[in-house]
Chains A and B, each alone.
Chain A
Amino acid sequence: MRILKEVFEAAWPICVGYFAIGVAFGVLAQKAGLKPLEIGLMSVFVFAGSAQFIAVSMLSSGAAAASVILTTFVVNIRHLLMSSSLAVHLNGCSRRFLFLYAYGITDESFAVNTMRFREGRWNAYNALAVNHIANVVWVGSTVAGGFAGQFIPGGSFGIDYALSAMFISLLVLQTRGGIYVITAILAGGWSVLLSLFVPGNMHVIVASLFGATAAFGIRAFLDGQRGGSRW
């Protein structure tokens, strides 16, 4: 029971955010001509919020399937980094487990599970449970949005801000020490700048790689000057 409680404690902030965005997506997709079943199928197959929003807006403007798929790939390639980072915590898990786990890697589940893993009292199965609770909420709320969209007013109770607030909080919680502050400033600053010039989502992966690598270099340089004791 205690484990169940911990899993729900970890999952509910994600669920609030997914519910809000999921319903919004369902409404939009329904307006773009998708049936609730089609909306649910996309949520089950893809399970990636921003890519689904983009896909629906492309579909409603008559884009070809191939270009929708290519755009989805570009938008979601940032998961490469999250998957690499999670591999540290899932070392030694069975192949079957990893097949299942990979399905549930999203920005939000990645961030929440990473924080819990770092706190030390988390295991692969708890993390998998969080992934799948989030998945059920996502699929359910997108379908619900498709059915009942027009009755739910958009932007009620500041709910549009749920995921932003969650990311702000996670960023604060994960910034433990100077090198993390440097990483955050470099990655965030570059991401803002790049987003102005690069369409789509590529700025996230490029800025993350640059920020982490530059901060890594800075730390190596500083440690070198101090005689490398902290390595």
Chain B
Amino acid sequence: MVGIEYLLLVAGMGLVTYLPRWFPLFFLSRKPLPRWFIQWLELIPVAILSALVLPDLLVAGDPRQIEWIQPKSLAALPTFLFAAKTRSLGGTVLAGMLFYFLVERFLPS
């Protein structure tokens, strides 16, 4: 079965992951937030999305370096246009997978 050391490990990982997820939710949703703070928070989702996705598309390797031309970045352009045109989340996921599949397949590497 599962050893006690492993259980302690995943419990510890779970705790340090859970606390940052819970803390702001618990303390910020009890009372009305100041208006400027809400306006700042409104910008956070776009900021996080962009901060997650751009390195994912442009940075590769170990040590990391910028690679402008690679399957992920090449597939990103048509995916971006498809999303802007259709504004469909599910459709863009499927289209993006197709673009990536085609790029991987036909890009001379």
A residues contacting B by CB (< 8 A) are: 9, 12-13, 16-17, 35, 37-38, 41-42, 45-48, 51, 55, 65, 68-70, 72-73, 76-88, 90-93, 95, 98-99, 101-103, 105, 107, 110-112, 114-115, 155, 157-162, 164-175, 179-180, 183-192, 195-196, 203-205, 207-209, 211-213, 215-216, 219
Contact = CB atoms under 8 A, between A and B. Distances in A.
A192 B100 CA distance: 21
A35 B102 CA distance: 35
Contacts of A37: 1-2
Contact residues of A: prevailing secondary structure: helix
Contact of A98 (B29, B40, B44): B29
A65 B90 contact: no
A78 B13 contact: no
B32 A183 contact: no
B47 interface: yes
A46 B14 contact: yes
B24 A195 contact: no
A88 B20 contact: no
Interface of B: 1-2, 5-14, 16-18, 20-26, 28-29, 32-33, 38-59, 64-66, 72, 75-76, 79-80, 83-84, 87-90, 92-93, 95-102, 104
A81 B90 CA distance: 25
Given A76-B17, A161-B75, A41 B10 contact: yes
Nearest to A20: B97
B69 to A, nearest CB: 15
B96 A84 contact: no
Contacts of B102: 158
B56 A167 contact: yes
Given A68-B9, A69-B16, A192-B66, A187 B97 contact: no
